[in-house]
Amino acid sequence: MTIRSRTLAESLLLIVPVAAVGLVLIVGSSEMGSGPGEGPVPQQTTPPRVIVVGAGLSGLSTALELADGGASVVVIDMSSV
């Protein structure tokens, strides 16, 4: 039996899709009403403002998705602090 440790890059490839799905679920749930019978969700007059921490693969792809959806996005990375 061979035991092989994962590199950081391999571990991130496993985590990124899960993080992206979690973000989509969180963002999607904020657009829904608080419960049945609560009425329609009021339309936002200003685009949501979002800060994405980390300019890695998942951070940049998340920022791009949010910007494509109309959000005002700021990406903060460790190298820019």
With cut-offs at 50, 70 and 90, classify the pLDDT of residue 2: low
Pairwise CA distance, residues 20 & 76, whole Å? 18
With cut-offs at 50, 70 and 90, classify the pLDDT of residue 74: very high
Give me the pLDDT at residue 66, please: 93
Long-range contacts of 19-22 (CB under 8 A, 24+ apart): 19/58, 20/58, 20/61, 20/62
Q: Are 43 and 33 in contact (CB under 8 A)?
A: no
Q: Are 58 and 19 in contact (CB under 8 A)?
A: yes
User: What's the pLDDT tens digit per position in 25-62?
Assistant: 555 545 555 556 667 777 768 888 999 999 999 999 99
